[in-house]
Amino acid sequence: MPTREVDPRFWADYQRLTRAQQEQFVRAALRLAEDLERGGPIRASLRVKPMRNNPGIWELTWDGQDGRATFTFGPEQLPGKRHVIWRRVGGHAIFEQP
Amino acid sequence: MALAATVHEQLAQREARLRLVPANERPLSPRTRARVERWEADLQAAADTIRWADAAIEQLAGLEDVAERERLLPLVRAARVQALGVVRQLNPDQAWFWTEEWQAGERAIDRRLAAGEHGTIYYTDEEFDAALRAHLHDPEPNAHA
């Protein structure tokens, strides 16, 4: 499995999610880790894609309609293991921001 | 950062990106390509304007000439709103990323990383799982074990 790093900002966002949303994110993050470990393509349901006009930042969809999270890949921390840095996570409210 | 670690990071990012190219992808027609290029340029201009506006808003907050600050801020904010409108029009799926609130958080993270600060690193699944569980609302032991 990849090593993980969590920015303090991520935890602040995570605390704003409901318990159900947190659980959904945890499941999605686990699936991403499994796919990265396997080395094959990331399953389509996670809708992992690079942020346009912002090189290096990726988005993941953890809830079909609303849940999004951003992450980057960081320098290897353990030999042969990808390193995922979780940056931010948000639910429906992010779509209502001006 | 050591050279080897940097190359590993860059390699991983580039490989992940290249894996997104479908094996059966074919060249675009000249007409479609021109349209895509225009779409990309318009979106890039909007993203650049948003970044500029966010930086300008931060800088103007420190402007001592209050009258000038109050005159400029609405103009800069209006430009930002206009640019976000372009993103919502052309790339609605990722418009949430360009809102003022989300961008402020991303910039704060970039600043921390640029200063050499890092978040907590979890080397094993157990460590990461325990951290996620500790931050759950009403934590339940072994909820994700």
Mean pLDDT of chain B: 90
Does the beta carbon of B3 lie under 8 angstroms from any beta carbon of chain A? no
Q: Does B126 touch chain A (CB under 8 A)?
A: no
Cβ contact A7–B96 (<8 Å): no
Q: Kindly state which CATH superfamily the domain A3-96 is placed in.
A: RelE-like (3.30.2310.20)
CB-based contact A90:A68 (threshold 8 Å): yes
Question: What was the ipTM of the complex prediction?
Answer: 0.90
Per-residue confidence (pLDDT) for residue B45, from 0 to 100: 97
Q: What value does the mean pLDDT take over residues B115-126?
A: 92
CA distance A47 to A39: 17
What's the rounded Cα separation, in Å, for the pair A11 and A16?
9
b/e map of A40-51 (b: 16 or more CB within 10 Å)? eebeeebebebb
Chain B residues whose beta carbon lies within 8 Å of the beta carbon of residue A8? 112, 119
Res A19 pLDDT > 50 = yes
Give which of A9, A3, A2, A1 is closest to A69, Cα–Cα: A9
Domains of chain A: which residue ranges? 3-96
